[in-house]
Amino acid sequence: MRPPLLRRLGRLLVSALLAATACTFALPSPASAAGGLTQVTGFGSNPGNLAMYTYVPDGLPPNAPVVVALHGCAQSANDYYANSGWTTMADRYKFAVVFPQTSAANNSLSCFTWFDPADTGRGKGEVASVVSMVDKAAQLYGSDRARVYVTGLSAGGGMTANLLAAYPDVFAGGAVDSGLPAQCATSQTGASGCQYGSLNLTPAQWGDKVRAQNPGYAGPWPRVAIWQGTSDYTVYPVNATELRDQWTNVWGLSQTPSSTTTLPGSTTLTSYDDAGGEPAVQLYQISGMGHGLAVDPGTGEEQCGKSAAYFLDTICSSYYTAHFWGLDGAGTGPGDGDALPAPAGLKAGTPTATSVPLSWSAVAGAASYHVYRGGTRVGTPSGTSFTDSALTAGTSYTWTVAAVDNTGKEGARSAPVTASTTGGGTPATCVTANNYAHVAAGRAHVSGGYAYTNGGNQNMGLYNVFVTHTLRQTGPGSWELADGAC
């Protein structure tokens, strides 16, 4: 999609035309393979003029799944390989990953052209090229054709939705990260309307856009995860609601959630279950996150990815998406199936400078419990209490707890509890970046071609990549100008 053209204001300053469609702006990495990323040539019909890269973990068994991962604008396959966390999941759960790559020859900022019917219809353009890659991967690695999944960021997210609509017989599931509904726009002009606002369609009208891509197809439909930051000013959060409306309608489900769960990273998960009680559509809303893919760098079980431009340190979306698809062999989502219920009554006791005691109510059938701090498991007590220690003074932490049965299967997580250690102090967070980056990260927003701080609404100057400021966080989702003051 195209952000509004920045007017020529002032003396000789000419704003940059950010001509990306649902794009992220970052310096593109080299297109060459790096590390375990390997280019595959001669993969078959390629009407979309794409390149194919793959990552295959050691010890890949026959009949393993395949995940297709689509990068954002001004990114490459190598960026997604290096930062998204999908290689960590592939190593752990043993599946192949295909990283399609577009180029400036297709779009000026290397965006997948999700808005062009010549690239989004079944048998056409870029979507047809991606399906050729799936066929090639299945041939090379002996993959399970019933377990093929697709995910993507921003413009890659928009193309993910289109792939699910055009090829529901190819993809068992999808994940749209900071992206847009299938067939939201059919021209570059219409793309901005999707990016910044609502088309005001009913769920049935959104569902019809999917059904029209493959007339006569009656299912099964892919299971769809939707990831969205609530402070995304590049692809507005209404797109997540519209995606939810679209895919619940395709599945014939109500837009009333079957369940709501709190996850790490200020994330709220709402699930919409099919007739068998399994989640068909899941919506992950991350409070305060801007535009990008949610990652959580670290070595914890639920951590993955690297923090970089438009890879935002909040929660490991790749882990939760893999769990939702069942790639870990543990079901199709937190608390699904016959897993144990979430522990109730989680509370924090009196903290010290370095420790916080926790307690909760017992769960029938639990053999032990997993205690998580900020998404990382920190303890496995057999009882209903645990003291988290070696903490930093004057720091706020958040915990959740899950019950584990005697087979090792983890149940749903509890509601979170937050507490702070005594002493010390928490310094203000300061970030120096250009105005475009501040807006994309959710620290600022755009009005009339100018950037303004979120919360304080201070004028930061023209919305472009040339004006740079330091912003200081003053509260959740609130920032102020702090040039020279941090």
Active site residues: 154
Is residue 351 classed as helix, strand or coil in its secondary structure?
coil
Q: What phi, psi does 467 have (nearest 5°)?
A: -90, 125
Give the Cα separation of 120 and 126 in Å (integer): 7
Contacts of 86 (CB under 8 A, 6+ apart): 55, 67, 69, 80, 97, 151, 318
Beta carbons of 330 and 323 less than 8 angstroms apart: yes
Give the Cα separation of 1 and 186 in Å (integer): 11
DSSP letter at 455 equals: B
Beta carbons of 251 and 222 less than 8 angstroms apart: no
Contacts of 353 (CB under 8 A, 6+ apart): 391, 393, 394, 421, 422, 423, 424
Give the Cα separation of 434 and 431 in Å (integer): 10
Select from 20, 90, 26 the least CA-distant residue to 308.
26
Q: How many CB atoms sit inside 10 A of residue 123's CB?
A: 11
Q: What is the dihedral of CA 89, 90, 93, 95, to 10 degrees?
A: 150
Element (H, E) at 460: strand 459-462
Give the pair of three-digit tokens for residue 371.
């205690």
- Beta bridge partner(s), residue 453: 444
Beta carbons of 223 and 332 less than 8 angstroms apart: yes
Beta strands per DSSP E along 207-333: 223-229, 259-263, 267-273, 279-286, 293-295, 311-313
Give the Cα separation of 362 and 360 in Å (integer): 7
Select from 81, 149, 68 the least CA-distant residue to 112.
68
